[in-house]
């Protein structure tokens, strides 16, 4: 069992951050596994065509999607909620060939697919890896970044609320497969890796929009835990006719998205409609008693009431 140990000082300094690099890694792994599954969607098919003509990218993604120990150069802890991909890739490009090859060798030790690793012998390997992630971001993440960010910010808002009411123990519990294992430790993995000791800089919690996958990012004393965000990018499908037709597709879609609290601006991004449209629907839903707005500072978050939960269940089904 692998533990992340946090003393009182570390807990006080712990915080949330966003990472375009972690989101890109998550997305590329999901698409790579979709290719392996034999029924790739449009994005996975595009990735397959790319990998067919790029042995370096193919070998890299084959490894990171089939190991329990990610190479250090793809697991870089982000600094804040405004972390830029360019800054993360600059850190990645700073890895020497010797350091990059050493961390790949460690990753291969914990991989269930260990072939096709000749790519790591390329000169300037970390720079080539950065180029792969820059291309992956541009093709598969950046066009949808606003919606992805909205999902991750909703998760952080939820956990920040739990933190304010109940402390880090409850805010962290349920992050991926993480569970508390004592007064000063959380269980990160069932694997027998060395325990991680979080210092005075605290633990950085980083959501991603993939449905599975959690990992740590470490750089000296800085440690981040990347985990799947609550909620999903997939749009719930509204059942044609019935209650959904009665209240209208727009309001039904808003109810479906409010399985987790959200601001009007986040809903507009997630649904791809104007803020005015969302505000009008929310006003009607609020008057009907199916949603309620709660203020947090200058921001108002909307959530379903119990009546809203019942109404949403009658109007939707998962894709």
- The answer on 287 and 248 residing in a single domain is yes
Task: Evaluate whether 210 touches 176 at the Cβ level (below 8 Å).
Answer: no
| Domain closes at, from 111, 145, 179 | 145
Q: What is the mean pLDDT of the chain?
A: 86
- The answer on 79 and 117 residing in a single domain is yes
Number of folded domains that form the chain: 3
Instruction: Indicate the burial class of 319 (C-beta count within 10 angstroms; 0-12, 13-18, 19 or more).
Output: exposed
Separation of alpha carbons 265 and 249, rounded Å: 19
Bridge partners of 6, per DSSP, are 198
Average pLDDT value for residue range 284-291: 90
Separation of alpha carbons 218 and 201, rounded Å: 12
pTM given for the model: 0.80
| Domain closes at, from 92, 111, 145 | 145
| Domain closes at, from 97, 121, 145 | 145
- The answer on 286 and 202 residing in a single domain is no
Q: Residues 49-61: pLDDT tens digits?
A: 999 999 999 999 9
CATH for 263: 1.10.10.10
Q: Give the range among 84-88, 116-120, 128-132, 181-185 with minimum mean pLDDT.
A: 181-185
- The answer on 151 and 135 residing in a single domain is no
Task: Give the tokens for residue 31.
Answer: 């698409």
Model confidence band, residue 318 (pLDDT cutoffs 50, 70, 90): very low
- The answer on 138 and 50 residing in a single domain is yes
Domain residues for the domain of 96 are: 20-145
The proportion of the chain whose per-residue pLDDT surpasses 70, expressed as a percent, equals 93
> Is pLDDT at 145 greater than 80 in this prediction?
yes
């Amino acid at each position: 069992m692998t533990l992340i140990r946090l003393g009182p000082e570390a807990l006080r300094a712990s915080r949330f951050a966003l990472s375009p690099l972690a989101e890109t890694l998550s997305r590329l792994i999901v698409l790579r596994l979709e290719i392996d599954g034999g029924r790739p969607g449009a994005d996975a098919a595009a990735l397959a065509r790319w990998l067919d003509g790029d042995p370096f990218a193919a070998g890299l993604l084959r490894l990171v999607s089939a190991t329990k120990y990610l190479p250090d150069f793809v697991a870089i802890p982000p600094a804040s909620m405004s972390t830029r991909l360019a800054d993360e890739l600059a850190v990645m490009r700073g890895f020497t060939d010797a350091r990059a090859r050493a961390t790949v060798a460690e990753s291969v030790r914990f991989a269930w697919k260990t072939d096709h690793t000749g790519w790591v012998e390329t000169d300037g390997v970390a720079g080539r890896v950065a180029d792969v992630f820059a291309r992956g971001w541009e093709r598969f993440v950046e066009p949808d970044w606003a919606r992805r960010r909205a999902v991750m910010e909703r998760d952080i808002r939820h956990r920040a609320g739990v933190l304010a009411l109940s402390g880090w123990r409850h805010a962290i519990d349920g992050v991926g497969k993480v569970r508390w294992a004592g007064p000063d430790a959380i269980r990160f993995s069932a694997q027998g890796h060395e325990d991680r000791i979080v210092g005075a800089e605290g633990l950085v919690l980083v959501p991603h929009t993939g449905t599975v996958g959690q990992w740590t990012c470490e750089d000296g004393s800085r440690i981040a835990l990347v985990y799947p965000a609550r909620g999903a990018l997939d749009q719930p499908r509204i059942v044609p006719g019935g209650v959904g037709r009665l209240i209208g597709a727009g309001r039904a879609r808003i109810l479906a998205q409010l399985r987790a609290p959200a601001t009007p601006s986040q809903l507009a991004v997630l649904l791809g409609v104007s803020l005015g449209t969302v505000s009008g629907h929310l006003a009607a839903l609020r008057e009907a008693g199916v949603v309620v707005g709660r203020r947090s500072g200058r921001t108002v978050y909307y959530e379903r009431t119990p009546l809203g939960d019942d109404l949403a269940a009658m109007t939707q089904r998962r894709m």
